[in-house]
Chains A and B, each alone.
Chain A
Amino acid sequence: MAKITIEDLKKIKERVHAETALRDGHLRVKVTVHMGTCGIASGAKEVMDALLREIEEAGVTDVAVTTSGCMGLCSREPLVTVEILNQEPIKYEYMNSNKMRQVFKRHILEGEIQNPFVLARGAETQK
């Protein structure tokens, strides 16, 4: 493999500029992988890796990925929240790379909520 250089970054920049010129640059989906100590210890990083790889392979540019901390449900980690624009957020529990790939293909791309993995619907509320 050729050595990676700063030139590659410039090429990526130009490519991304060309892509964003074609669409309006709005994000359609936000995916949050919960990365507290509990999440990391139960495999959240593998879930994150799988998600990034799926996005890369699918070549989609309207999916944003972010991380968050522990929300107190450590026993159900790894947790992933999928928020599609103008829809209520869906929280998935006990995730792994396979389930992540399924959620990506079926829910994120096709809009079909994967009920067997769902922990909750709707936003978190603070007491």
Chain B
Amino acid sequence: MLELALHILDIAENSTRAGARHVDIHLKEDPGHDLLTLEITDDGAGMDQETLAKALDPFYTTKKVRRVGLGLPMLAQAAESAGGELILSSEPGKGTRLKVTFGLRHLDRQPLGDIAGSLVTLIAGNPDIDFTYCHECQDKIYLLSTEEIKKEIEDVPINHVEILKYIRCHVAEGMKEIGSEA
């Protein structure tokens, strides 16, 4: 995977499988400290200490259909090759929090990629889960909350094609407005 947007899609899918009701995605660009921080927080099942310790092992998975679990290890590798790190914390019954840092201007940092597309895919596939996407760029903030959109559209499903198109445009415009460089 060569784009952070794909990693976000992949990791957030883990949250949805852990039974999360809310998934919070937070990106922060800090050119002053040459830092890009990605945080994904969910209120899913969480992991005990033993599972947590093994989660970054590519040969550990809870699935029965195959013997590898590459999602988190690949993100950890992407962070480490860009001068950052991946920190995973979790509490059974409460949820999981993932924090990944990257050198913002590091040559090997993967580009952000198509964030709008990733969010649309997440929302289309998991209409019952509430996602928030917050992107901070210096002192400007872009925020997308599916909870607020749902309030506005009432009985129209959030995975309706027209709503997904609206979300895609909303994200693209918002990212442009805050001057995201990543």
Taking Cβ atoms with an 8 Å cutoff, the residues of A that contact B are 1, 3-4, 6, 8-10, 12-13, 15-17, 33, 35-38, 40-41, 45, 48-49, 52, 55-56, 61, 64-72, 74
Contact = CB atoms under 8 A, between A and B. Distances in A.
A70 B6 contact: no
Contacts of B118: 45
Q: Is the interface of B mostly helix, strand, loop or mixed?
A: helix
Contacts of B121: 33, 35, 45, 48-49, 67
A70 B66 contact: yes
Contact of B124 (A15, A16, A65, A68): A65
Contact of A67 (B1, B125, B153, B164): B125
B71 A37 contact: yes
Nearest to B159: A65
Interface of B: 1, 5-6, 9-10, 13, 17, 63, 65-66, 69-71, 74, 114, 117-118, 120-122, 124-126, 149, 152-154, 156, 159-166, 169-170, 173
Given A4-B173, A16-B160, A40-B10, 8 more contacts: A8-B166, A35-B10, A45-B6, A45-B114, A45-B117, A48-B124, A56-B161, A72-B66
A72 B65 CA distance: 5
Contacts, number: 101
Nearest to B125: A67
Given A37-B74, A45-B6, A45-B117, A9 B153 contact: yes
Contacts of A17: 156
A10 B134 CA distance: 23
Contacts of B162: 12, 15-16
Given A48-B124, A71-B65, A9 B166 contact: yes
Contact of B120 (A6, A35, A52): A52
A55 B161 contact: yes
A4 B170 contact: yes
Given A4-B169, A4-B170, A9-B153, A67 B161 contact: no
Pairs A-B, 6 closest by C-beta atoms: A67-B125, A72-B65, A37-B71, A12-B162, A9-B152, A16-B156
B173 A3 contact: yes
A25 B37 CA distance: 43
A17 B160 CA distance: 12
B152 A52 contact: no
Nearest to A6: B152
A15 B166 CA distance: 13
A40 B1 contact: yes
